[in-house]
Amino acid sequence: MLTNPPTILRCLLLLLATAILSGCSFGPDYVRPDLELPATFRGSDVSLSDTSFGDRNWRTVYSDPTLQALIEEALTAAPDLLLAEARIREAEAVAGITHADRLPQLSLSFATSPTARQPGDDLTSTFLGGAAISWEIDLWGRMRRADEAARADLLAREETGRGVYITLISQVATGYYRLLAEHDLLAVATRTATNQRESLRLIERLSTAGIATDAEIRQQEVALAVTEATIPAQKRRIANAENALSILLGRSPGSVLIKTGTEPDLPADIPAGLPSQLLEKRPDIMAAEQQLIAANARIGEAKARFFPSLSLTGLFGQVSTSASDVLTGSAASVASLGADALQPLFAGKRLLYNHEATRTRLDQSVITYRKTILTALAEVANALTNYRYSGDILTIQQQRTASAREALRLAESRYQAGVISYIEVLDAQRQLFAAETDLVQARLDRRLTLISLYLSLGGGWEEPAT
């Protein structure tokens, strides 16, 4: 029991000196692994530059006002984004708990303990109440490494949330353009069916005049039925696409208003920037690096457990054999300050295995980090290649559609002139229907490859408004 103020002062000075000496930490400090990155992306035809398409604001990439409104709605109500934000808050709380372990713990206590009883004495107890303080001195940096790991886990969770954010933007854009394509396909089917009905009425008039045959009427009826059958199926796909997009927006399944908007900017060549920029741009890479930092810090935490722990404890209160005296403050005062040291001697190799486990987790994190980078490089390369060739395919499909449309016009003219049979007209109708359908798909693919390229370059993130 310490009642002498100089003695207490010396203990406090000892406490301060111990805290200063606790500046060392076991375990390696983090150093980013050596990475052999290519000078440029495969498939990039743009001259080497640090300008990246991924640096553009998503509003300039997706300039359609209707799409922008849908993205804004998703960024405020999408379940995936709300879930990611909740997980970040959880990681913040866990990091706070870990950091709190480094601080002194102060509490109020009231305890009782038995008192030795002599023969003939009544049963009695000693009551002790007061303020207790406990502080584990981080001599070997175990708690600092744990704090470092927890903070890295938090940053990894934040990067994962950023990845959800930019992925959500791309998913809404993808869903929107798919829905537009489904409407375009419905328009193609409806227009084709309308033209085929006109052709059927023409053949019926020609048949009345003795020019066309009943067989030609039946052939046109079959062709019309085939086209009309695609219309309800297409309406079903539109409903399914609307339901999928509604979920992304955080809505109940329902219709989504589609307006004719602005065509996205589809340049011939897109600057991809430098591969090294992905390390600071892609959320998945940055999250993997933070997980690597956490795994590295936990090696020091595990190593520090081999060494003794030191805790300083103190109690300032009152003691008495009467509980009421302690509660009313009339009991004798007591003050104590001391240190507890604990050195592990034998734990069944538990500490050794724990240290080995942290080292293997670090190895796994390094492998995961490198794999994430390789995957990112492949995604950018694939997106660049797909975008370039999707432009070639779109051009070919546009030419094919124009040719098929002209072929149908010529076939109808030649049939009416009696030069060809109606079979050739039917074939020209089928060719145009297929060409227009494939053109819609080619236009959709072109848009989707742009979205994929923008996402693979880490594009879409913007700092939340404060």
Which CATH number covers residue 53? 1.20.1600.10
**Looking at the domain assignment, is residue 15 inside a domain?**
yes
What is the token pair recorded at 150?
A: 């927890």
- Total domain count for the chain? 2
Residues 438 and 326 in one domain: no
> Distance of CA 207 to CAs 31, 225, 330, Å?
85, 20, 120
CATH code of the domain covering residue 327: 2.20.200.10
**Looking at the domain assignment, is residue 398 inside a domain?**
yes
Instruction: Tell which residue, 261, 249, 242, 281, has the closest CA to residue 62.
Output: 261
**Looking at the domain assignment, is residue 127 inside a domain?**
yes
Residues 221 and 283 in one domain: yes
Final residue of a structural domain among 342, 367, 397: 342
Instruction: Tell which residue, 33, 97, 21, has the closest CA to residue 296.
Output: 33
> Distance of CA 270 to CAs 47, 54, 380, 384, Å?
10, 10, 11, 8
What tens-digit pLDDT sequence spans the chain (466 residues)?
444 545 544 554 455 455 444 456 677 888 889 888 887 888 776 656 678 888 899 999 998 999 999 999 999 988 888 999 999 999 999 888 888 888 888 888 888 877 766 665 666 778 888 888 888 887 888 889 989 999 999 999 999 999 999 999 999 999 999 999 999 999 999 999 999 999 889 888 888 888 878 888 899 899 999 999 999 999 999 999 999 999 999 989 988 888 766 677 777 778 888 888 888 899 999 999 999 999 999 998 888 888 888 888 888 888 877 777 777 777 878 888 877 777 777 677 888 888 899 899 999 999 999 999 999 999 999 999 999 999 999 999 999 999 999 999 999 999 888 888 889 999 999 999 999 999 999 999 999 999 999 999 998 887 766 5
Q: Which domain holds residue 120?
A: 1-26+104-137+309-342
Determine if residue 49 is left, alpha or beta; phi over 0 gives left, psi from -120 to 50 gives alpha, anything else beta: beta
3-state secondary structure of 267: coil
Rounded Cα distance, 223 and 174, in Å: 33
Residues 255 and 212 in one domain: yes
Instruction: Tell which residue, 63, 447, 454, has the closest CA to residue 273.
Output: 454
| Helix segments in 318-349, DSSP class H | 323-328
Residues 335 and 435 in one domain: no
pTM score of the predicted model: 0.84
Place of tokens 């480094």: 102
> Distance of CA 299 to CAs 87, 168, 305, 352, Å?
25, 36, 10, 11
- Residue count of the chain: 466
